């Protein structure tokens, strides 16, 4: 077979710059072969090398005595949770494939991250996801108090950022039909893969915004559990050890997906790259998981790595680079689905559910026995060498011979130009002067609760099996999911031990998980927004009774060659880093997804943050809904931040939904105060006086109160509704002199940070308030639980809503749109 000559055009089509090509030639000391060009192109793509973001990622705090495997060392980070146990977790994106083929794109996103966790030696026990789509409804159904506020166009902009596009009246029906299709198929794909594999999908978030139209985001997290001594490594160690391939045959699907993920999404690229989307088989993944865990228990495995992005290429060169060895493989031995596949295709294929195993010499038979037990295809394809080189042969002929470490670790690193976007001047100048205060807060509350961004996501999570494995203690629908870790959550020690009933002390541990990412705040103020994304995740964990262990982040941004986008990336990472430090939630790994832009422009900057926390005892597990009539409702934190002229409404859901405005300066996040608040809440929970805790976020105090009343679900069509009588008349605005008076919309719907609603037995109220004050946290009794309506009084005004109506709007709005 003659291979194409290496021309500048061919190099360009591989997304390598002439400088990168030159660097690759210097690494080899000669011109590249065709297969080598393919290898360099995927390994030096953003997806695999983080070449545009690596300098920024260094800002994130990654150290803690509890971290057993840190960020970037292996396929996922690992944290000690005590008693010899540990958790492995990571979030990863599958945005581009999901835009092109939403069902398979999302499904294989789940598959890929599950394999990353298995390769660490852990048993996957749950998954989460964070999704973004274009609007699925006509946003103009909000009850605008004024006509949409139009902002002046800024000159010299390549594209209008989404916040300058009026949020209403600009959507063609076709666009939300397409967004609904993407939403429906992505959710179905995630459900298909996770349900069949048997992993509970326990939490997540979904947001809708015009900037994601045509460029949806699909970020998936997987978490696994293992004993310290079970940690596996992606190492090609032990010179002479055989290299095994296990899993289905390699096909032409998913060719060069990593490179595809690292370029702008256009009509042309989407059509051209449809073949880059892989097809997932969750059943095969389940077999692969059980077989690998059984195999790891034998001690016959020296190293393990999945073939995910960049397939066989990445698995071979990374394992050799980490172990500082070399690796040699013969492609003719690789199981192939189609005849006449070229070396290039085999090396770059991203066929799913495949693993690379480095087996201890002499123990091959144990490996073969286990693969045969699980009916998995396997092949011995090569061996570990001491040359430091990755040598690939095809029927004896060398098709690639590259120094593994230089390929894996010495990709180009770029410090891109950063520039603050000029349009931020406009959004920062926004005031409430032209916005009339709400005259009908009840309608505004209903409108917010029925808005897909705030409405219950049960249409989504009822399609996921969130209970399989008997570990889900708090199901989707509260601030954070809570999982129980028990004996069978762990990978087996040996098959013999599994057959015997456990004689040891019964194992029971609890972890809480959440994923958050308010991209509107990040768009309007990347630094402050970055802080808030992390603070909200930590606050959600605190509400469940957990203290943070670690964080994994997914940075979804536009094209980093645009200085304004690079500035957004840099500033938001800076904010996140500071928040992770103050809130003691180090980053253990994550993913960067750049080039998220469609022909309409870039997405809003969207860092999503997943945080995992530990809960010491079952008694500390706390949920968001009110429990009993007569309990008192207490607000922890100040109702309105001092010195915020927008009274918490900048970038708020209220402005977006009711006034069709995405603008203003988002609320400030005082991290020290935030840390004190979480600490105080946990202290109160530990002392047994907190019956419910719910974070105030999108939609402010009124939406949070409504959710406390309506979010408990007993069974199908059977919510448990419990009312509340709230009086906010005592809230005074601690604003500086000359500031405008307290506004009702700010009080009810402002998104001032650092606020948590709790409820306690009436007899404990005084205790709660005085303890909170000792801990330097403001605590105000604002109401009583009870009745069949939500009543909120404030000076001279208020609202009263029937719970049945609020529940219907909140619970059924997405289903009504989608069915």
Residues that bind another protein (CB under 8 A): 188, 191-192, 195-198, 281-284, 286-287, 374-375, 461-470, 472-473, 475, 484, 486, 488, 498-499, 501-502, 506, 618, 713-718
Among residues 14, 21, 94, 620, the one annotated as catalytic is: 94
CB of 819 to another protein, least distance (A): 8
Produce one character per residue of 145-173: b if its CB has 16 or more CB atoms within 10 Å, e if not: eeebbebeeeeeeeeebbbbbbbbeebee
For residue 285, the minimal CB distance to another protein (Å) is 10
Q: Shortest Cβ distance from residue 598 to another protein (Å)?
A: 28
Helices (H), 14-156: 18-28, 34-43, 46-49, 54-57, 95-100, 102-119
Distance CA 623, CA 620 (A): 10
Q: Is 94 a catalytic residue?
A: yes
For residue 260, the minimal CB distance to another protein (Å) is 27
Q: Which of 14, 47, 659, 807 is catalytic?
A: 47
Which residue in 355, 351, 345, 358 sits closest to 399, CA to CA?
345
Among 35, 32, 4, which residue's Cα sits nearest to residue 18?
32
**Cβ of residue 181: shortest distance to another protein, in angstroms?**
15
For residues 535 and 66, give the distance between their C-alpha atoms in angstroms, rounded to a whole number: 21
Q: Which is nearer to another protein, 284 or 592 (CB)?
A: 284
Reduce the DSSP state of residue 358 to 3 states and report it: strand
Comparison of 433 and 499: residue with beta carbon closer to another protein? 499
According to DSSP, residue 427 is labeled H
A 10 A CB-CB count for 216 gives 27
Q: Residue 475 or 735: which CB sits closer to another protein?
A: 475
**Phi-psi sector, 520: left (phi>0), alpha (psi -120 to 50), beta:** alpha
Task: Tell me the C-alpha distance between 587 and 480, whole Å.
Answer: 19
Q: Which of 397, 132, 422, 106 is nearest to 279 (CA)?
A: 106
Taking the complex as a whole, the smallest distance from the CB of residue 287 to another protein amounts, in Å, to 6
| Beta bridge partner(s), residue 607 | 555
CB of 489 to another protein, least distance (A): 9
Q: What is the smallest separation between the CB atom of 450 and another protein, expressed in angstroms?
A: 21
Nearer to another protein among residue 65 and residue 501 (C-beta)? 501
Sheet-wide strand order for 123-133: 67-69, 77-82, 85-93, 217-227, 123-133, 201-208
440/808 with CB nearer another protein: 808
What residues pair up with 220 in beta bridges, in sequence order? 92, 129
At residue 189's C-alpha, the angle toward residues 105 and 183, to 5°, is 85
Measure the CA–CA gap between 546 and 151, rounded to whole angstroms: 43
249 closest CA partner among 345, 106, 183: 345
State how far the alpha carbon of 743 is from the alpha carbons of 142, 697, 752, in Å. Answer: 20, 18, 13
Q: Which is nearer to another protein, 374 or 567 (CB)?
A: 374
Closest by CA to 381, choosing from 238, 254, 256, 241, is 241
Question: Nearer Cβ to another protein, position 353 or 564?
Answer: 353
Q: Measured from the CB atom, is 16 or 125 closer to another protein?
A: 125
The residues that bridge with 224 in the sheet, in sequence order, are 88, 124
Measured between alpha carbons, how far is 551 from 545 in angstroms, rounded to an integer? 17
Shortest Cβ 463–another protein spacing (Å): 5
Q: Which is nearer to another protein, 472 or 760 (CB)?
A: 472
Distance CA 643, CA 650 (A): 13
**Residues with a known catalytic role:** 47, 94
């Amino acid at each position: 077979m003659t291979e194409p000559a290496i021309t500048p055009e061919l190099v360009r089509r591989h997304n390598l710059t002439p400088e990168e090509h030159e660097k690759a030639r210097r690494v080899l000391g000669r011109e590249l072969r065709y297969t080598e060009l393919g290898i360099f192109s995927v390994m030096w793509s953003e997806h695999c090398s983080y070449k545009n973001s690596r300098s920024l990622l260094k800002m994130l705090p990654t150290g803690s005595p509890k971290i057993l495997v840190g960020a970037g060392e292996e396929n996922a980070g690992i944290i000690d949770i005590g008693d010899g146990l540990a958790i492995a977790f990571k979030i990863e994106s599958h945005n581009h494939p999901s835009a092109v083929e939403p069902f398979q794109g999302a499904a294989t996103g789940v598959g890929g991250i599950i394999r990353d966790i298995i390769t660490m030696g852990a048993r996957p026990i749950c998954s989460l996801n964070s999704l973004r789509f274009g609007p699925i409804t006509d946003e103009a159904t909000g009850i605008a108090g004024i006509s949409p506020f139009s902002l002046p166009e800024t000159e010299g902009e390549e594209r209008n950022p989404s916040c300058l596009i009026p949020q209403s009246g600009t959507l063609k029906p076709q666009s939300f039909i397409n967004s609904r299709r993407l939403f429906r198929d992505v959710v179905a794909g995630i459900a298909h893969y996770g349900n069949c594999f048997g992993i509970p999908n326990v939490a997540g978030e979904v947001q809708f915004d015009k900037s994601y139209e045509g460029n949806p985001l699909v970020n998936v997290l997987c978490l696994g559990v293992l004993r310290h001594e079970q940690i596996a490594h992606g190492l090609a160690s032990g010179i002479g050890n055989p290299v095994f391939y296990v899993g289905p045959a390699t096909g032409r699907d998913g060719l060069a997906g990593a490179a595809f993920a690292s370029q702008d999404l256009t009509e042309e690229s989407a059509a051209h790259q449809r073949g880059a989307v892989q097809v997932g088989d969750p059943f095969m993944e389940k077999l692969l998981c059980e077989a690998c865990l059984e195999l790891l228990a034998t001690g016959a495995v020296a190293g393990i790595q999945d073939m995910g992005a960049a397939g066989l290429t990445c698995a071979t060169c990374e394992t050799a680079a980490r172990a500082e060895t070399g690796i040699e493989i013969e492609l003719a031995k690789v199981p192939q689905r189609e005849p006449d596949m070229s070396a290039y295709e085999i090396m770059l294929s991203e066929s799913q559910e495949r693993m690379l195993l480095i087996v201890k010499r002499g123990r091959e038979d144990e490996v073969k026995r286990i693969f045969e037990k699980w009916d998995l295809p396997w092949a011995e394809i090569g061996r570990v060498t001491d040359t430091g080189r990755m040598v690939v042969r095809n029927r004896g002929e060398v098709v690639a011979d590259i120094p593994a470490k230089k390929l894996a670790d010495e990709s180009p690193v770029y410090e891109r130009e950063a520039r603050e976007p000029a349009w931020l001047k406009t959004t920062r100048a926004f005031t409430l002067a032209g916005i009339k205060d709400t005259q009908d807060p009840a309608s505004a509350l209903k409108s917010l609760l029925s808005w897909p961004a705030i409405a219950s996501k049960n249409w989504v999570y009822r399609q996921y099996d969130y209970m399989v494995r008997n570990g889900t203690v708090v199901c989707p629908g509260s601030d954070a999911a809570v999982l129980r870790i028990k004996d069978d959550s762990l990978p087996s020690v040996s098959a013999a031990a599994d057959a015997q009933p456990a004689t040891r002390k019964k194992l029971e541990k609890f972890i809480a998980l959440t994923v958050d990412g308010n991209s509107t705040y990040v768009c309007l103020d990347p630094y402050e927004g970055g802080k808030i994304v992390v603070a909200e995740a930590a606050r959600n964990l605190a509400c469940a009774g957990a203290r943070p262990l670690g964080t994994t982040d997914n940075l979804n941004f536009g094209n980093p060659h645009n200085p304004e986008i690079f500035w957004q990336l840099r500033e938001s990472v800076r904010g996140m880093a500071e928040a992770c430090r103050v809130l003691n939630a180090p980053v253990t790994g994550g993913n960067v997804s750049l080039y998220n832009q469609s022909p309409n422009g870039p997405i809003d900057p969207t860092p999503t943050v997943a945080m995992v926390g530990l809960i010491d005892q079952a008694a500390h597990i706390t949920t968001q809904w009110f429990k009993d009539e007569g309990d008192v409702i207490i607000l922890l934190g100040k109702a309105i931040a001092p010195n915020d002229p927008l009274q918490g409404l900048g970038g708020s859901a209220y402005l977006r939904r009711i006034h069709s405005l995405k603008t203003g300066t988002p609320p400030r996040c005082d991290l020290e105060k935030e840390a004190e608040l979480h600490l105080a809440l946990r202290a109160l929970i530990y002392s047994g006086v907190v019956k419910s805790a719910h974070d105030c976020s999108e939609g402010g105090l009124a939406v949070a109160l409504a959710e406390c009343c309506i979010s408990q679900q007993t069974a199908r069509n059977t919510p448990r509704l419990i009312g509340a009588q709230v009086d906010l008349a005592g809230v005074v605005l601690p604003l500086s002199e000359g500031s405008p008076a307290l506004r009702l919309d700010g009080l009810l719907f402002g998104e001032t940070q650092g606020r948590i609603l709790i409820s306690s037995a009436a007899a404990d109220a005084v205790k709660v308030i005085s303890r909170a004050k000792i801990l330097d946290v403001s605590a105000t009794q604002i109401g009583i639980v009870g009745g069949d309506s939500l009543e909120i009084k404030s000076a001279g005004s208020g609202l009263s809503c029937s719970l049945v109506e609020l529940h219907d709007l909140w619970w059924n709005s997405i289903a009504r749109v989608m069915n």
